[in-house]
Amino acid sequence: MSAVAGLLKDSGHEVRGTDRVYPYPPVGDLLAALGITVMYPYDAANLSWEPDLVVVGNVIRRDNPEAQAMREAGIPFMSFPQALKEHYLSGRVPLVVTGTHGKTTTSSLVAWLLHAQGFDPGYLIGGVPLDFGSNYRAGRGSYFVVEGDEYDTAYFDKGPKFLHYAPQAAIINSVEFDHADIYADLDAVIESFAKFARIMPSGAPLLVPEADANAAVAIRETCASVKTFGVDAGFWHARDVAWSNGRVGFDLMAGKTHAGRFDSPLFGRHNLSNTVAALGLVHEAGAVGPGLADALSRFAGVKKRQEIKGVRGGVTVIDDFAHHPTAVRETILAVRNAFPGARIVGMFEPESNTSRRKVFQEEYVTAFAAADRILFCAPLEKNDNLPPEMKIDMGRLVSDINGRGTPADIIPDIDELAAAAVASARPGDVILGMSGRDFYGVHGKVLDLLGKRDSTA
CATH number of the domain to which 19 belongs? 3.40.50.720
Domain termination residue (choose one: 75, 104, 123): 75
Q: Both 152 and 256 in a single domain?
A: yes
CA–CA separation, 415 and 426 (whole Å): 19
355 — pLDDT class (breaks 50, 70, 90): very high
Q: Both 354 and 407 in a single domain?
A: yes
- Please determine, for residue 172, whether its predicted confidence score (pLDDT) is greater than 90: yes
Measured between alpha carbons, how far is residue 272 from residues 8, 238, 252, 330 in Å?
34, 8, 11, 12
Q: Both 243 and 283 in a single domain?
A: yes
CA–CA separation, 144 and 137 (whole Å): 9
Count of alpha carbons within 13 angstroms of residue 235, beta-carbon side:
14
- Please determine, for residue 26, whether its predicted confidence score (pLDDT) is greater than 80: no
Q: Name, in order, each residue with C-beta under 8 angstroms of 392's C-beta and a sequence gap of 6 or more.
A: 350, 355, 356, 357, 358, 360, 361, 364, 379
30 — pLDDT class (breaks 50, 70, 90): confident
457 — pLDDT class (breaks 50, 70, 90): low
Domain count, the chain: 3
Q: Is this structure's pTM higher than 0.85?
A: yes
Give the tens place of pLDDT for each residue, 109-151: 999 999 999 999 999 999 889 999 899 999 999 999 999 999 9
The mean pLDDT value for 73-85 works out to: 97
Q: Both 109 and 228 in a single domain?
A: yes
Return the CATH number at 95.
3.40.1190.10
According to DSSP, the residues that pair with 391 across neighbouring strands are 357
* Residue 365 domain flag: yes
* Residue 302 domain flag: no
Q: Both 312 and 337 in a single domain?
A: yes
Return the CATH number at 443.
3.90.190.20
For position 331, what pLDDT does the model report?
A: 96
Count of H-run helices and E-run strands, the chain = 14, 22
Q: Both 288 and 322 in a single domain?
A: no
* Residue 318 domain flag: yes
245 — pLDDT class (breaks 50, 70, 90): confident
Give the tens place of pLDDT for each residue, 187-222: 999 999 999 999 999 999 999 999 899 999 999 999
* Residue 269 domain flag: yes
The mean pLDDT value for 360-373 works out to: 96
Domain termination residue (choose one: 13, 44, 75): 75
Chain centroid to CA 400: 28
Instruction: Calculate the average pLDDT of the chain.
Output: 96
31 — pLDDT class (breaks 50, 70, 90): very high
For position 454, what pLDDT does the model report?
A: 82
For position 174, what pLDDT does the model report?
A: 93
Residue 118 sits at the vertex; the CA angle it makes with 112 and 119, to the nearest 5 degrees, is 80
* Residue 387 domain flag: yes
* Residue 101 domain flag: yes
Q: Both 268 and 346 in a single domain?
A: no
Domain that holds residue 449: 307-456
Q: Both 165 and 293 in a single domain?
A: yes
- Please determine, for residue 234, whether its predicted confidence score (pLDDT) is greater than 70: yes
Q: Both 289 and 433 in a single domain?
A: no
Residue type, 156: F
* Residue 154 domain flag: yes
Dmax of the chain from CA atoms? 66
Q: Both 377 and 445 in a single domain?
A: yes
Domain termination residue (choose one: 266, 297, 328): 297
Q: Both 156 and 254 in a single domain?
A: yes
CA–CA separation, 98 and 82 (whole Å): 17
Collapsed DSSP state (helix, strand, coil) of residue 345: strand
CA–CA separation, 404 and 28 (whole Å): 39
Give the tens place of pLDDT for each residue, 379-402: 998 888 889 999 999 999 999 999
* Residue 292 domain flag: yes
Q: Both 385 and 269 in a single domain?
A: no
- Please determine, for residue 353, whether its predicted confidence score (pLDDT) is greater than 70: yes
